[in-house]
Amino acid sequence: MPRLEVFPQNHMKTAYGIWLFTAQHPLVRKLKRFAQPNVHGHKTWSSSYLIMDYLQENRLKKNSRVLELGCGWGPASVYCASQQKARVTGLDVDENVFPYLEMMAAANDCKVRTLQASFNDMKGKKLAGFDVIVGADICFWESLTDDLFKLFRRARRAGVKKIILADPGRSTFDDLCERCEKAWPGSFSHEYWYALEPKRFEGQLLILDFS
Ligand X SMILES: C[S@@+](CC[C@H](N)C(=O)[O-])C[C@H]1O[C@@H](n2cnc3c(N)ncnc32)[C@H](O)[C@@H]1O
Between 3 and 177, CB nearer to ligand X = 177
- Which member of 44, 89, 114, 145 binds ligand X (CB under 6 A)? 44
Q: How many CB atoms lie within 10 A of CB 113?
A: 14
Between 48 and 204, CB nearer to ligand X = 48
- Which member of 20, 60, 65, 75 binds ligand X (CB under 6 A)? 75
Closest CB 33 distance from ligand X, rounded Å:
19
> Distance between CA atoms of 80 and 69, rounded to whole angstroms?
13
Terminal Cα-to-Cα distance of the chain (whole angstroms):
31
Only segment of 3-11, 72-80, 149-157, 178-186 that touches ligand X (CB under 6 A) = 72-80
Whether 114 contacts 102, CB under 8 Å: yes
Q: Is 73 in the site for ligand X (CB under 6 A)?
A: yes
> Distance between CA atoms of 191 and 173, rounded to whole angstroms?
12
C-alpha to C-alpha distances, 156 to 73, 161, 167, 184, nearest whole angstrom: 26, 7, 21, 10
Q: Is 97 in the site for ligand X (CB under 6 A)?
A: yes
Q: Are strands 162-167 and 87-92 parallel, antiparallel or unpaired?
A: unpaired
Q: Is 167 in the site for ligand X (CB under 6 A)?
A: no
| Number of shown-chain residues binding ligand X (CB under 6 A) | 22
Q: Is 66 in the site for ligand X (CB under 6 A)?
A: no
Between 47 and 204, CB nearer to ligand X = 47
- Which member of 4, 27, 35, 93 binds ligand X (CB under 6 A)? 93
Q: What would the DSSP string read from start to end of 70-133?
A: T-TT-HHHHHHHHHS--EEEEEES-GGGHHHHHHHHHHTT--EEEEE--GGG--HHHHTT-SEE
Q: Is 71 in the site for ligand X (CB under 6 A)?
A: yes
Closest CB 127 distance from ligand X, rounded Å:
14
Residues forming contacts to ligand X in the complex (CB under 6 A) are 39-41, 44-45, 47-48, 70-73, 75, 92-94, 97, 118-119, 136-138, 147
